[in-house]
Amino acid sequence: MSKSKIWSSNSIFILAAAGSAVGLGNIWKFPYMVGSNGGSAFVIVYLLFIFIIGLPVMASEILIGKYGRKSPVNSLKKISLDFQLNVRWKYLGVLGALAGVLILSYYSVFAGIAFSYIFNIFPLGLENPSEYSTNYFSSLAASPLRLIFWHSIFMLFTCAIVGYGVIKGIGRSVSFLMPIFFVFIILIAIYSSITGDMNSTLSFLFSPKFSALTPGVIISAMGQAFFSLSIGMGAIMAYGAYIPENQLIGKTVLSIILLDTFVALIAGIAIFPIVFGNSELVVNAGPSLIFETLPVAFYSLPFGSIFSILFFILLSIAALSSAISLLEPFTAWMEEKTKLKRKMVVSLLGILIWFIGLGSIFSFNIWSDLEFKGFNFLSGLDYLTNNIMLPLGGAFIAFLTGWFLPKEFIRKSLNINYFLFNIFFFCLRYISAGAIVLIFVYSVL
């Protein structure tokens, strides 16, 4: 393994993986899921799943990537050949690479919207800022051209970084993007907790109300844990291929998971005090929570427009460092398979993804009436990827490491003591695999 194909330090790998995990899922989706699923019950179950499902699956992805040192498809092929397993395990990598491309096609549309909000500065002296904000969002959603513009800009940034390659492009950019990101989100959380209603926020997020715990809440918490950690499609496996040889996987996974969880909770603390402190805003607003209501909240606060700009810069940075991990598995695979230059592969894939993204854009406007079995293009794609492809991928990864690879090989690769390993392996073998199959069956039926 040549030096240029390894992250320059252990902390760069952690930043890159945390950069993948932390994204729209933490800042946009986590707060609205918490708001729509009754608060603390969701939070507590989510935290449980992060540790008993997320940790084992993420560790499995990293150790397969580190063993294979190639794209997920070829790392899976190598590990299955070396351990005399069926070579068809590699199709798990193909499924994942495909899921990444499909997810990126709509992720880029939402990230583009977030990006456009950096420039959405409310005029001073509005009589009714909430009406202005609602109109702004609906006029943006109604305009294919404006959405295409922001989607194109976001895809250009993503392709440029991946085109430079993992070490030069991703490694370098995360090493300055992620620290900026952490500083910003903490600043905004401090600002919100001083100016908004912090007491209601803390009791909403953390005081246990188990009456709110329904099967639906449990299932959504599990799905959110997958999406937020970027597991189930090989993104973390692709990054694992460049992990320094001496890096301890056990400790590394724990750091990534703690960072991701910290950011989701901090995002809650940044957003809910403003919502609770403003009688016009509701916690269960759903996906529109940050796009329609947060600018209004910022507007009514001192220095609000500066914080609004900071907030959406932050969201765009987080989305960008996640988007690159969605593109990396397919890119690495094509680079090995076709011998085309990385920049060429990325350009071709970028055009393809941009094109698929048009379908999601048109779902907001000219295709909004076009439905197939109750799904439009966007909701259908979202369902296919998050409810089918990711859980299926995660379950197979857990089956591969929990049931097919030698237990001693897994223990050595993780490099943790026997006591912790036994807990880990139990979760991997029985809980992760079983629970994932459960979400899968539930969400498909």
Asked if 65 is part of the footprint of ligand TRP (rule: CB under 6 A), the reply reads: no
As a whole number of angstroms, the distance between CA 86 and CA 246 comes to 29
As a whole number of angstroms, the distance between CA 51 and CA 53 comes to 6
CB within 8 Å of 353: residues ≥ 6 apart: 101, 104, 105, 108, 155, 327
User: Among candidates 56, 64, 69, 67, which has minimal Cα distance to 7?
Assistant: 69
Nearest distance in Å: CB 207, ligand TRP: 26
As a whole number of angstroms, the distance between CA 137 and CA 141 comes to 6
Q: Of the candidates 15, 76, 233, 275, which one interacts with ligand TRP according to CB under 6 A?
A: 233
As a whole number of angstroms, the distance between CA 103 and CA 354 comes to 12
Closest to ligand TRP by CB, 34 or 326: 326
Q: Which amino acid is at 398?
A: A
User: Among candidates 236, 221, 224, which has minimal Cα distance to 322?
Assistant: 236
Closest to ligand TRP by CB, 103 or 416: 103
Closest to ligand TRP by CB, 192 or 228: 228
Nearest distance in Å: CB 61, ligand TRP: 10
Stretch that binds ligand TRP, among 8-16, 51-59, 231-239, 350-358 (CB under 6 A): 231-239
Residues 390 to 429 in contact with ligand TRP, rule: CB under 6 A: 390
Asked if 252 is part of the footprint of ligand TRP (rule: CB under 6 A), the reply reads: no
Binding mask 306-345 for ligand TRP (x = CB under 6 A): ----------------x--xx-------------------
Task: Judge whether 93 and 135 are in contact, CB under 8 Å.
Answer: no
Task: Judge whether 24 and 316 are in contact, CB under 8 Å.
Answer: no
Q: How many residues bind ligand TRP (CB under 6 A)?
A: 17
Asked if 243 is part of the footprint of ligand TRP (rule: CB under 6 A), the reply reads: no
Asked if 439 is part of the footprint of ligand TRP (rule: CB under 6 A), the reply reads: no
Stretch that binds ligand TRP, among 20-28, 39-47, 153-161, 347-355 (CB under 6 A): 20-28
Closest to ligand TRP by CB, 278 or 360: 360
Nearest distance in Å: CB 234, ligand TRP: 8
3-state secondary structure 255-299: HHHHHHHHHHHHHHHHHHHHHHCCCCCCCCCHHHHHHHHHHHHHH
- With b for 16 or more beta-carbon neighbours within 10 A and e for fewer, the 53-72 pattern comes to bbbbbbbbbbbbbbbbbbbb
CB within 8 Å of 203: residues ≥ 6 apart: none
Q: Of the candidates 7, 17, 18, 20, which one interacts with ligand TRP according to CB under 6 A?
A: 20
Closest to ligand TRP by CB, 235 or 435: 235
- Cα dihedral sign for 297, 300, 303, 309? positive
Binding mask 23-42 for ligand TRP (x = CB under 6 A): xxxx----------------
Asked if 265 is part of the footprint of ligand TRP (rule: CB under 6 A), the reply reads: no
Nearest distance in Å: CB 57, ligand TRP: 11
Residues 211 to 230 in contact with ligand TRP, rule: CB under 6 A: 227-228, 230
Query: Which residues sit at the interface with ligand TRP, rule CB under 6 A?
Result: 20-21, 23-26, 103, 227-228, 230, 232-233, 235, 322, 325-326, 390
